[in-house]
């Protein structure tokens, strides 16, 4: 019986990522059962574990192939396959994890629904247990945005496969998310016909305000999100002397920050077919990260013109909710980072009440960091179409970071035609 035997490269460390992407061929039409052979692998990094886990599910669930994992439990790479949850997730082994050097691993998980994202992100933050508040905020923000891009916009039959790792000795945090969906180019092409290649797609995707990156009917309106997610992640990586690898199809962009926090980047094209979907690999360094509030402020220059018209924004930030009869309070913690619920609440609860003359307070109490995508889903249309915001809407208990996100959304809403 014919089968496909795939020998995994011996070295898959972080420095090998670019060469691996360029030279590796992901077999799209394997013959017979497939064996993924890790027995000759000496070292494997989180990005490779995530990609091969996604590929395993792609083979099984999309290509309908029987797939088997071959590995040596006594090797360094084999031990990492166990510790990372690779074998557990693929149901290919029952070895017991043996963590060393205090490394903290958030095992591989599959995320298929947007509603699963907040719980997974919270689990990541609990396991990583990063004491530095700024680093913790940046990591959680980035993780949520990466997962949301995959789950909502990739149309990946296998969903997202994700993991994270924190190395306390070096202060390095690594997050990887992968899908086997449409890819960025196909996702963008309907709204942007000029995006006719994977290279153009990965280059365009990290630009600010790519607001039509989502196909129609995703969550009510493509203007719910101004396309700042990947742009913000890129900024976070650059300012933290970290890096962001974004690969889709045949193209990959490597973005990192130099010692001055200035953004640097290179693009790579796969010599073969490239990755059958999209993946992102984020690295942050604890000792180098800038204040998270400042990172968000750095993005607001894109809406600088709105600063000239503060009265038009008409945003009322308050630190205490007034005791007023008939006041309607929206408690954000009840649906934190769930964009579908935020969109629903916006349409069913917030906008009708404002239009009916009811005073509304959006209460961010207990929310340390709100991502740009979430605030857009909740507030973009409210600000854009609202004619009486100054008298009918208040925003309570914002952290500095959340306030910056709200201001950025408001500025963009007022600069964008209805």
Which residue bears the tokens 């797939």?
A: 67
Two structure tokens written together for 203? 């280059």
The pLDDT value recorded for residue 202 is: 82
The pLDDT value recorded for residue 294 is: 65
What's the whole-number mean pLDDT along residues 101-125? 84
Confidence class of residue 214 from pLDDT cuts 50, 70 and 90? very low
Please report, in angstroms and rounded to a whole number, the separation of the first and last CA atoms in the chain: 61
Average model confidence (pLDDT) across the chain: 81
Domains of the chain: 4-290 (3.30.565.10), 303-415 (3.30.750)
Tens digits of residue pLDDT in 389-414: 656 788 889 887 788 888 888 877 76
The pLDDT value recorded for residue 295 is: 63
DSSP code of 116? G
The pLDDT value recorded for residue 310 is: 42
Task: Considering only residues 127 and 349, tell me which one the structure prediction assigns the higher pLDDT.
Answer: 349
Task: Considering only residues 260 and 88, tell me which one the structure prediction assigns the higher pLDDT.
Answer: 88
Up-side HSE of residue 279: CA atoms within 13 Å toward CB? 28
- Which secondary structure element, helix H or strand E, spans residue 11, and what is its range? strand 11-12
**CB of 362 closer than 8 Å to CB of 288:** no
The pLDDT value recorded for residue 290 is: 58
The pLDDT value recorded for residue 417 is: 56
With H, G, I as helix, E, B as strand and everything else as coil, classify residue 415. helix
Confidence class of residue 57 from pLDDT cuts 50, 70 and 90? very high
Helices 292-299, 229-239: inter-axial angle, 10-degree rounding: 130
CB-neighbour burial class of residue 18 (10 A; exposed 0-12, middle 13-18, buried 19+): middle
CA–chain centroid gap for 93, Å, is 29
Tens digits of residue pLDDT in 339-367: 999 999 999 999 999 888 788 889 999 99
With 70 as the cut, is the pLDDT of residue 216 above it? no
Task: Indicate the range of 80-84, 155-159, 403-407 predicted with least confidence.
Answer: 403-407
The pLDDT value recorded for residue 221 is: 31
| Beta carbons within 8 Å of 178's beta carbon, 6+ residues apart | 50, 51, 53, 54, 150, 160, 161, 162, 275, 277, 278, 279, 280
With 60 as the cut, is the pLDDT of residue 211 above it? no
Task: Considering only residues 265 and 349, tell me which one the structure prediction assigns the higher pLDDT.
Answer: 349
Confidence class of residue 297 from pLDDT cuts 50, 70 and 90? low
The pLDDT value recorded for residue 220 is: 31
The pLDDT value recorded for residue 189 is: 80
Up-side HSE of residue 59: CA atoms within 13 Å toward CB? 24
| Beta carbons within 8 Å of 18's beta carbon, 6+ residues apart | 252, 254, 268
Task: Considering only residues 308 and 245, tell me which one the structure prediction assigns the higher pLDDT.
Answer: 245
The pLDDT value recorded for residue 304 is: 43
What's the whole-number mean pLDDT along residues 244-259? 88
As beta bridge partners, residue 67 has: 34
Nearest one of 195, 298, 190, 182 to 239, comparing CA atoms: 298
The pLDDT value recorded for residue 298 is: 58
- Which secondary structure element, helix H or strand E, spans residue 236, and what is its range? helix 229-239
Q: What SS3 string covers 271-324?
A: CCCCEEEEEEEEEEEHHHCCCHHHHHHHHHHHHHHHHHCHHHHCCCEECCCCCC
Confidence class of residue 99 from pLDDT cuts 50, 70 and 90? low
């Amino acid at each position: 019986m014919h089968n496909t035997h795939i020998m995994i490269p011996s070295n898959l460390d972080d420095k090998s990522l670019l060469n691996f992407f360029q030279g590796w061929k992901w077999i799209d039409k394997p013959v017979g059962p497939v064996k993924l052979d890790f027995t000759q692998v000496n070292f494997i990094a989180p990005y490779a574990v995530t990609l091969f886990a996604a590929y395993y599910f792609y083979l099984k669930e999309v290509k309908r192939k029987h797939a088997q994992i071959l590995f040596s439990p006594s090797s360094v790479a084999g031990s990492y396959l166990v510790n990372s949850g690779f074998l557990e997730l693929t149901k290919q082994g029952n070895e017991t994890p043996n963590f060393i050097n205090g490394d903290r691993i958030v095992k591989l998980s599959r995320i298929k629904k947007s509603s699963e994202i907040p719980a997974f992100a919270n689990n990541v933050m609990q396991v990583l247990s990063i004491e530095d508040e700024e680093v913790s905020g940046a990591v959680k923000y980035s993780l949520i945005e990466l997962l949301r891009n995959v789950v909502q916009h990739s149309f990946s039959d296998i969903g997202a496969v994700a993991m994270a790792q924190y190395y306390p000795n070096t202060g390095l945090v690594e997050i990887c998310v992968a899908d086997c969906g449409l890819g960025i180019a196909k996702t963008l092409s309907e709204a942007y016909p000029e995006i006719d290649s994977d290279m153009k797609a990965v280059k365009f995707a990290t630009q600010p305000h790519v607001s039509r990156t989502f196909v129609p009917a995703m969550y009510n309106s493509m203007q719910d999100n101004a396309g700042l997610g990947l742009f913000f992640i890129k900024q976070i990586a650059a300012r933290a002397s970290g890096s962001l690898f974004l690969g889709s199809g045949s193209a990959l962009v490597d973005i990192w920050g130099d010692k001055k926090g200035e953004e640097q980047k290179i693009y790579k094209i796969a010599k073969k077919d490239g990755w059958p979907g999209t993946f992102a690999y984020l690295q942050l360094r604890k000792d180098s990260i800038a204040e998270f509030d400042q990172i968000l402020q750095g993005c607001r220059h894109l809406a600088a013109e709105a600063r000239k018209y503060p009265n038009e924004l008409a945003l009322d930030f308050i630190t205490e909710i007034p005791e007023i009869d008939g006041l309607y309070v929206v408690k954000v913690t009840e649906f934190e980072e769930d964009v579908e619920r935020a969109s629903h609440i916006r349409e069913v609860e917030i906008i009708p009440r404002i239009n009916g003359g009811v005073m509304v307070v959006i209460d961010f109490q207990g929310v340390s960091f709100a991502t740009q995508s979430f605030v857009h889903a909740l507030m973009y249309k409210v600000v854009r179409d609202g004619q009486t915001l100054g008298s009918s809407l208040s925003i309570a208990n914002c952290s500095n970071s959340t306030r910056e996100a709200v201001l950025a959304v408001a500025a963009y809403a007022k600069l964008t035609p209805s």
